[in-house]
């Protein structure tokens, strides 16, 4: 069985120090095999924010896999955004923008969906290219049939109806079709809303903002814990309240011939 902690949208620069300490305590209880961090690590891609993120990652006593979000690109410095978009990321966070972690039980594949420029008026919108989809398919062709297959990308591949005004990843539909029966679960962030839904046989699971004060109305900080294997997965929502993270709800999913289904 694999245990994954999924945290997201840390937004260093807007983080709550007490929640940061509470997260490290909660992760100690969970003792994950891997911590997945699905982007927006900083608020404005400033040096001091990346330094705080670097210190946090250095204090994490677990393997981690991290991908960038739209906030990890400089918003107000166009030359930096256009010419050296990932210089700070590579310096403070990781040489890689699309890391892969694999052991005998799972493969976790990172996708960078943040773009420095876009034809779309909203540059915070994410995109997945045909080349990225092809790379993931190649990786999965060599993955053992029994290994749990996780993807992580900052931007959403599915949105709840109330949040349909937030944009999906560009090319989300062909990507989901390509991932059908190849990918078990996609972990994302961006919306600052925790939700999980099966779409086209794949579990799409979002973490809320784990550390930042950029909270949706009536929401608190949260992260998710995913436990299981290619046959059964449980997804636990851990929410902040009374100065600690506690289990708030749980969903269970099972895989059949036609893909994943939620158990009710």
Residues found near Fe ion in the complex (CB under 5 A): 9, 40, 69-70, 190
CB closer to Fe ion out of 88 and 149: 88
Question: Which residue do the tokens 């799972």 mark?
Answer: 106
Cα–Cα distance measured from residue 91 to residue 85, given in angstroms and rounded to the nearest whole number: 12
Cα–Cα distance measured from residue 224 to residue 208, given in angstroms and rounded to the nearest whole number: 9
CB closer to Fe ion out of 167 and 229: 167
CB closer to Fe ion out of 46 and 230: 46
CB closer to Fe ion out of 6 and 190: 190
Cα–Cα distance measured from residue 22 to residue 13, given in angstroms and rounded to the nearest whole number: 18
- Measured from the CB of residue 130, what is the shortest distance to Fe ion in angstroms? 23
Whether the Cβ atoms of residue 184 and residue 151 lie closer than 8 Å to each other: no
Return the ∠ at Cα 214 (arms to 209 and 219), rounded to 5°: 65
- Measured from the CB of residue 71, what is the shortest distance to Fe ion in angstroms? 6
Residue nearest to Fe ion (CB): 40
Coil, helix or strand for 33? coil
- Measured from the CB of residue 154, what is the shortest distance to Fe ion in angstroms? 6
Whether the Cβ atoms of residue 71 and residue 11 lie closer than 8 Å to each other: yes
CB closer to Fe ion out of 69 and 201: 69
Torsional sign, CA 148, 153, 157, 159: positive
CB closer to Fe ion out of 78 and 216: 216
CB-based contacts of 201, cutoff 8 Å, min separation 6: 180, 181, 258, 259, 260
Return the ∠ at Cα 133 (arms to 128 and 134), rounded to 5°: 145
Whether the Cβ atoms of residue 13 and residue 52 lie closer than 8 Å to each other: yes
- Measured from the CB of residue 5, what is the shortest distance to Fe ion in angstroms? 18
Coil, helix or strand for 255? strand
- Measured from the CB of residue 48, what is the shortest distance to Fe ion in angstroms? 18
Q: How far is CA 248 from the centre of its chain?
A: 19
- Measured from the CB of residue 75, what is the shortest distance to Fe ion in angstroms? 11
- Measured from the CB of residue 245, what is the shortest distance to Fe ion in angstroms? 19
- Measured from the CB of residue 264, what is the shortest distance to Fe ion in angstroms? 30
CB closer to Fe ion out of 71 and 149: 71
Whether the Cβ atoms of residue 232 and residue 255 lie closer than 8 Å to each other: yes
CB closer to Fe ion out of 9 and 98: 9
Q: List the beta bridge partners of residue 240.
A: 245
């Amino acid at each position: 069985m694999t245990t994954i902690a999924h945290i997201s949208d840390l937004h260093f620069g807007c983080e709550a120090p007490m929640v940061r300490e509470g997260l490290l305590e909660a992760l100690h209880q969970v003792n994950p095999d891997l911590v997945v961090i699905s982007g927006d690590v900083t608020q404005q891609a400033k040096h001091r924010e990346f330094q705080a993120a670097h210190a946090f990652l250095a204090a994490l006593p677990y393997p981690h896999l991290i991908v960038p979000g739209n906030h990890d690109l400089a918003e107000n410095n166009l030359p930096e955004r256009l010419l050296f978009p990932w210089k700070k990321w590579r310096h403070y966070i990781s040489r890689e923008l699309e890391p892969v972690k694999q052991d005998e039980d799972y493969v976790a594949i990172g996708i960078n969906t943040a773009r420095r420029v876009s034809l779309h008026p909203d540059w915070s919108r994410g995109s997945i290219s045909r080349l990225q989809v092809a790379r993931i398919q190649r990786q999965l062709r060599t993955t053992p049939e029994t290994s749990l297959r996780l993807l992580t990308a900052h931007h959403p591949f599915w949105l709840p109806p109330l949040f349909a005004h937030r944009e999906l990843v560009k090319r989300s539909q062909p990507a989901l079709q390509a991932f059908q029966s190849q990918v078990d679960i996609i972990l994302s962030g961006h919306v600052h809303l925790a939700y999980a839904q099966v779409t086209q046989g794949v579990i799409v699971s979002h973490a809320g903002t784990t550390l930042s004060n950029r909270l949706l109305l009536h929401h608190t900080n949260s992260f998710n814990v995913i436990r299981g294997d290619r046959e059964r997965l449980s997804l636990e929502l851990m929410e902040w309240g009374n100065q600690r993270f506690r289990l708030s709800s749980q969903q269970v999913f099972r895989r059949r011939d036609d893909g994943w289904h939620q158990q009710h």
